[in-house]
């Protein structure tokens, strides 16, 4: 498990190490400790802190702990981010004042917030009372697998209701991932994104009809994802699975700004991305292409070039080199 720590460094060296190494390990962040942050801290000089990190199949997990500070991901950091990602942060100790997309939330222990690295955001972490450090569990998800625009910068409670599923999965995956085999990790990896998407949707819809429609769309996407490896997915079969008419299905998807064909293409590409990032050496590119409905490996490669301007293998290297660094 990669580990970063400022332990044993002088206060000046801690500041440099935290900013140049730790805050660049997952996505560019600029740390700042002004007078306001130092006055609130039990450590007025330097930056005491550490990070532990480990990978699932596609998701990267990290537990982070440090002193009161501001961490900014501004326009310059967005421009030099090595990959587009979504961070799901579960507050364990202390608090975080989160800001993104004109939303501002106070994140307390037991709540999560979501940040999208393609746009600026700001976090002010504050230590809890009692001379302890703040602590957060952070999951990084490739943005191609989830678009969280409606919940960025918001607080989602994980102590009750549907949000408890997210908090529980994050805690279990962090603690038990080293004991799981790659196939189980890949399955749980996908399941976590599904649960997160459903919970985020339920927290941003208020009317009963909107909640029901969103749930139906989630059911449709889940069916498409599960049926694609078995062959062609038809609109009629998807509608039957959701227990609605084909006409109603098209209406629901159009209301969300998409179509059935676009959903199929999206889930097909996401499935291929997950398998490619998982990097199982026993699975060839041709097998991945066949599993997700591409004609052959050349068809999959052309699709990647058109969408990401790189080959599938280049895409895997870009994400791993950009986000999975070895301990310095």
Mean pLDDT of 243-260: 91
Burial per residue of 197-207, b for 16 or more beta-carbon CB atoms within 10 angstroms, e otherwise: bbbbbbbbbee
Q: Would the pLDDT of 218 be above 50?
A: yes
Contact indicator for 205, 215 with CB cutoff of 8 Å: no
Distance (Å, whole) CA 217 – CA 252? 7
- pLDDT per position as a tens digit, 128-177: 987 789 999 999 999 988 888 778 988 888 888 888 989 999 999 999 88
Q: Would the pLDDT of 255 be above 60?
A: yes
Burial per residue of 111-137, b for 16 or more beta-carbon CB atoms within 10 angstroms, e otherwise: bbbbbbbeebbbbbbbbeeeeebbbbb
- pLDDT per position as a tens digit, 71-104: 999 999 999 988 899 999 999 999 999 999 988 8
Q: Cα–Cα distances in Å, from 45 out to 34, 70, 178, 192?
A: 11, 15, 36, 39
End-to-end alpha carbon distance in the chain: 12
pTM for this model (two decimals) = 0.71
Q: Would the pLDDT of 328 be above 70?
A: no
Which has the higher per-residue pLDDT, 84 or 278?
84
Other CB atoms within 10 Å distance of the CB of residue 183: 11
Q: Would the pLDDT of 323 be above 70?
A: no
């Amino acid at each position: 498990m990669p580990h970063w720590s400022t332990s044993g460094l002088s206060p000046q060296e801690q500041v440099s190490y935290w900013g140049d190494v730790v805050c660049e390990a997952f996505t560019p962040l600029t740390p700042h400790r002004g007078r306001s942050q130092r006055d609130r801290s039990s450590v007025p000089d330097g930056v005491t802190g550490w990070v532990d990190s480990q990978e699932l199949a596609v998701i990267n997990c990290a537990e982070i702990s440090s002193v009161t500070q501001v961490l900014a991901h501004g326009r310059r950091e967005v421009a030099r981010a090595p990959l587009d990602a979504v961070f799901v942060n579960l507050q364990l100790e202390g608090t975080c004042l989160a800001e993104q997309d004109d939303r501002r939330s106070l994140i307390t222990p037991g709540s999560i917030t979501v940040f999208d690295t393609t746009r600026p955001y700001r976090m002010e972490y504050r230590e809890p009372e009692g001379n302890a450090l703040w602590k957060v569990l952070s999951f990084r998800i490739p943005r191609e697998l989830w678009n969280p625009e409606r919940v960025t910068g918001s607080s989602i409670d994980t102590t009750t209701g549907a949000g408890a599923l997210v908090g529980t999965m994050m805690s279990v995956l962090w603690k038990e991932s080293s004991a799981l085999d790659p196939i189980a990790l890949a399955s749980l990896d996908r399941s976590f994104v599904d649960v997160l998407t459903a919970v985020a949707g339920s927290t941003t819809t208020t009317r009963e009809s909107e909640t029901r429609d969103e749930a139906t769309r989630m059911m449709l996407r889940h069916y498409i994802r599960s049926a694609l490896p078995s062959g062609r997915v038809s609109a009629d079969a998807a509608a039957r699975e959701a227990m609605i008419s084909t006409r109603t299905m098209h209406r629901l998807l159009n209301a969300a700004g998409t179509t059935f064909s676009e959903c199929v293409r999206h889930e097909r590409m996401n499935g291929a991305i997950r398998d490619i990032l998982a990097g199982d050496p026993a699975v060839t590119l041709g097998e991945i292409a066949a599993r997700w409905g591409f004609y052959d490996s050349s068809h999959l490669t052309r699709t990647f070039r058109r969408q990401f301007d790189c080959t599938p293998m280049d895409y895997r290297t870009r994400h791993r080199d950009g986000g999975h660094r070895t301990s310095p």
